Structure 1
Amino acid sequence: MTNLVMCAAQYCSVAGDINVNIDRHLHIMRRAVEHGVQFLLFPELSLTGYEPTLARALAQTPDAECLQPLRELAAQSGMTTVVGLPLRQPGSENILMGALVLAADGSQSVYTKQHLHPGEEAVFSAGEGGALVDIGAEQIALSVCADVTQASHAQAAAQAGADVYASSVLISHEGYARDTALLQGYASAHSMGVLMANHGGPSGGWACAGRSAFWSAGGRLVVSAPGTGDCLVIARRRQGVWQGEVVDCLEWQ
């Protein structure tokens, strides 16, 4: 079994300001590189915040020039990074809740949220998912928030051969126990690791719970952020053994 370092970037988005969020993402990415991270996962809509009323104006195509610094840093550092934003595919007016995969080899792919929460359909269209992401010998399946409420989604990921189920989410204090029980259950039922990156502060009127986490295959909680705020939640596998570390925001300032 190979060594692996994965990280959930628990992040407090600046509402509606994609340029500021890009700068802050770059800073967080650099800090993650210092800790040897190979796969970095940001929360749902991390580059804009969860702001449905602003999503159409903020939506980007996957090849948008403003995202180039993120692509370059991912390739230069050799760290595959997944960022969240409203996406518009060329030739379509539909707005999708996207996870943009900036791969360590300089390539890029897209995952789009397949299952919408009630009310999101007023702005967003359901997406088509995306391919597994290769990190060395590991295959990582992506999911975005409401996707995890559908047991069939995690089951399909496992059947496709995923070693890790990585979920970019916005989870409130009220929904935290329910949603994390589902994620831990998937780790147990499908014998795959589960990585969850949550918002670390309010977004779109929601009081987000933070407490981003990683469960190893079998459902053991390896590491969790203690609460809200910006932090790196790092899971390291060395010689088949998982260990966790939380790096708080003081290291980024």
Structure 2
Amino acid sequence: MTALPDLPTLAAAQTVVIKGDIAANVARHVALAALAAGKGAKLILFPELSLTGYEPELAGELALRPDDACLAPLREAAAAHNIVINAGAPLVNDGGLPLIAALTFRPDGTTAVYTKQYLHDGEESAFAAGQGGTMLDVAGAAIALAVCADFGQPAHALAAAHAGAHVYAASVLVSVNGYDNDAALLQGHAAAHAMPVLMANHGGPSGGWHCAGRSTVWDEKGRLVVAAPGAGECLLLAGRSGGAWSGRVIDTAG
């Protein structure tokens, strides 16, 4: 039996966001990206709206453009540490409500934009539905992105699998009460499509939600590779070599 192809080390950053403080959150993203890169990670995935917090009532005033100057430290960090950084922010949508975006900063200085396609009930009052985006190439691995409610639509994960994704990377805000159901959905996508899943969740409260933390990586059979034990800030690292997975949690809060 042929071994599965190797996958680079990937990191899920479980962050505790400071409400509305883009500069402080950018600085923490940069520090965590440097730490992840130092551990060999080629991608670091942050939670949904990680640069602002999940704050629908503030989305209009906090909305960014991908080339905004306040994001320059992320562009510089990606280049300096040779790591792909994926961070969440409300995105200016000329003529409409902001989009919920996952902004990817590549080591070559380019930026990619993914916008959340499926909104949770109630989000339509503050956000517009997006159009998704192309997969990321991370050290030869095809990474399909999802932002929270996207993964609740079976067609979304199915499309990623059909497109040849090696990993399904979900930036989320999942509450304590919703965690079991959402984790089961993501684990099911991994098993159904033979597609590993990387999930980065908030490690602290945001937007009035009691976030669960418990960021997780599942392998291509839906088996647990590594998971954060609860809330709080941490990094998950996981990779596949010679057909075998390895993973670990780094406590960064101290």
Task: Tell me if 1:20 matches 2:27.
Answer: no
Q: Structure 2 unaligned segments of length 5 or more: list them.
A: none
CA root-mean-square deviation: 1.0
Which residue identity does 1:9 align to in structure 2? A
Cα distance in 2 for partners of 1:29, 1:137 equals 20
163-172 or 68-77, which deviates more: 68-77
TM-score by length of 1: 0.96
What is the percent sequence identity of the aligned residues? 53
- The two structures have a TM-score, normalised by structure 2, of 0.96
Structure-1 residue corresponding to 2:128: 125
Q: Which moved more, 1:36-45 or 1:101-110?
A: 101-110
1:79 matched residue in structure 2: 83
Q: Contact 2:137–2:143 at 8 Å: present in 1 too?
A: yes
What CA distance in whole angstroms lies between the structure 1 residues aligned with 2:125 and 2:214? 29
The corresponding residue for 1:198 is 201
2:224 equivalent to 1:221: yes
Deviations 1:95-115 (A, max 9, x none): 000000111222111000000
- Counterpart of 1:220, as a letter, is R
Aligned match of 1:66: 70
| 2:40 paired residue number | 36
Figure out how many residues of one structure are paired with residues of the other and give that number.
Answer: 250
Partner of 1:177: 180
Letter of the 1:112 partner, please give it.
T
Is contact 2:7-2:141 (8 Å) kept? no
Contact residue 2 and residue 137 of structure 1 kept, 8 A: no
**Mean CA deviation greater in 202-211 or 240-249:** 240-249
8 Å contact from structure 1 (residues 81, 101) kept in 2: yes
After the TM superposition, list the runs of 4 or more consecutive aligned residues in structure 1 that deviate by more than 2 angstroms.
Answer: 91-94
Verify the 8 A CA contact 2:30 2:74 in the aligned structure 1: yes
Q: Is the 8 Å Cα contact of residues 96 and 128 (structure 2) preserved in structure 1?
A: no
1:101-112 matched pairs, under 5 angstroms = 101-112=104-115
Alignment of 1:223-238 (within 5 A): 223-238=226-241
Q: CA deviation at 1:3?
A: 4.6
Give the Cα–Cα distance (whole angstroms) in 1 for the partners of residues 247 and 142 of structure 2: 20
Amino acid at match of 1:48: T
d(CA) in 2 for partners of 1:103 and 1:165?
18
- Distance in 1 (CA, whole Å) between partners of 2:137 and 2:164 is 11
Q: Is the CA contact 1:71–1:102 (under 8 Å) kept in the aligned structure 2?
A: yes
Residue number among 73, 85, 97 corresponding to 2:100 in the alignment: 97
